Structure formats: C-alpha cells, structure tokens
Structure 1
Amino acid sequence: MSERTTEAADSATPTPPVVRRVDARHRYEILVDGEHAGLTAYRDRDDQRVFFHTEIDDAHAGQGLAAVLVEQALTDVRGAGLRIVPVCPYVAKFLTKHQEFADITDPVTPEVLTWLDARLKR
C-alpha cells in the first residue's frame, strides 16, 4: 500500500474528539487527534460547577466541537453529583436546547456573579 493510500484511509476514519477534565486548570479540554482544540472553564462553588467561558480554537471552528465538549462536561457534572450554573453564554444557550440537564441547572444570580468575579480577581 502506498503512503498516499494510507493517508486517504486514515482521513476516512477520523479519530473521535476526546474530552478530559483538567482539575488543576479548572476546565474541560477537547482534543482532536491529540491536539488541543478548545476548552470550557469553570469554578466550583459548594455543590455547583459554575461555567464561565467556552472557546474553540479557530483551526477547529465549525465542526460542532463546542457542543461535544459542553455535553460531555455537563454529563460529567451530573456524574459527580454537582449542579450547573451557566454564566457562559454558550453553555446557557446549549442548555435551552438540552432540557435533559434542566434538573441539575441553577440560575445565574447576582450573588454567583459577585462570587465568580472575586474568584477570578476581575
């Protein structure tokens, strides 16, 4: 088999993206072929995981990776017995379309925003 044929076969079966929680950096990261493609950042407040920022690198934009990232992050939150607070506009929008997380979602309140600002020193 020639090199060119091998490359074509590899591109026909792309590796699915991998989402991992990186507690030391307070975020979930999504990797595509082992390369960092984006993140959703959080801080924990009691039994709540407060999501405040989501981004996908330009090189990976338009591939639906943000939805994969956020869905797996929220599934992990459920598994950990925590609740979701969607300060991040993308996470909030995702939740309007994915009611399966409504039972573990708390509203964004002024108190949460003040707490988050203090945590992030902004």
Structure 2
Amino acid sequence: MSQPSATPTVERVDDRHRYEILVDGERAGLTAYRDRGEQRVFYHTEVDDAFAGQGLAAQLVREALTDVRASGKRIVPVCPYVAKYLHKHGEFDDITDPVTPEVLQWLDTELG
C-alpha cells in the first residue's frame, strides 16, 4: 500500500466505546475501552494489516491517553499494547491505575 496522503486523525467514538484512527477517512485501527467511574479501562487495540508498520497504534494510543488526561479520568491498561506504551512513556504515570482482579472481573461482566 502506498503511504497515506493525509495526516492520520484520531477520534473518540463514545457510542462505540473506542478511539479510532482514520487515514484518508478510512478506519485504520481502534483502541477499545469501558468507563468504570473515573477510570477509562482500555482492553483492546488493533490496527488493520493494510496499515501496519506506520506507527499508527502508537499515535492512536498517545492521543487516546492525552484525551483521557484532558477529560480528568484515569487510565487502566488491561490491553497489553496500552500497558507496553505506558511502560515506555512515563508522562502518563500520574493518571495510571493498576490492573486489579476487581477491574478484570468488572470488565468481564461489562463485556458479557
């Protein structure tokens, strides 16, 4: 696939509980969450194979976490990619909560 001609954009899609990254208007990836009080629990991130290797997952997660900070919420990184991103980028440490058995049980119930 050729390089995208437009700058990728990230949008929060509240009714679908996720952030999406768009390239030329096409959804290239997403990171899914559920809100638990003041916590935004991220549980899944994916980028379509056609867009792999362009750094889109990192841009998506960075912008999603920046939005969480702006909204006054806290981050719970159940998603392994989000957890890995946070491990490498300490600027979100002050708003990151640990993944606990209670959070995992709550998420399992939320997702059915």
Name 2:91's counterpart in structure 1: 100
- What TM-score results when the alignment is normalised by the length of structure 2? 0.96
2:12–2:20 contact (8 Å) kept in structure 1: yes
Name 1:7's counterpart in structure 2: none
Say how many residue pairs are matched.
111
Name 1:110's counterpart in structure 2: 101
Q: Distance in 2 between matches of 1:41 and 1:108?
A: 16
* Structure number with bigger Rg: 1
> Aligned-pair distance for 1:60?
0.2
Counterparts in 2 of 1:1-122, with a 5 A limit? 14-121=5-112
Q: Distance in 2 between matches of 1:30 and 1:23?
A: 14
> Aligned-pair distance for 1:15?
1.3
What are the ranges of 5 or more consecutive residues in structure 2 without an aligned counterpart?
Answer: none
Give me the CA root mean square deviation: 1.3
Q: Distance in 2 between matches of 1:28 and 1:12?
A: 22
- What TM-score results when the alignment is normalised by the length of structure 1? 0.88
What are the ranges of 5 or more consecutive residues in structure 1 without an aligned counterpart?
Answer: 1-10
Residue identity (%):
75
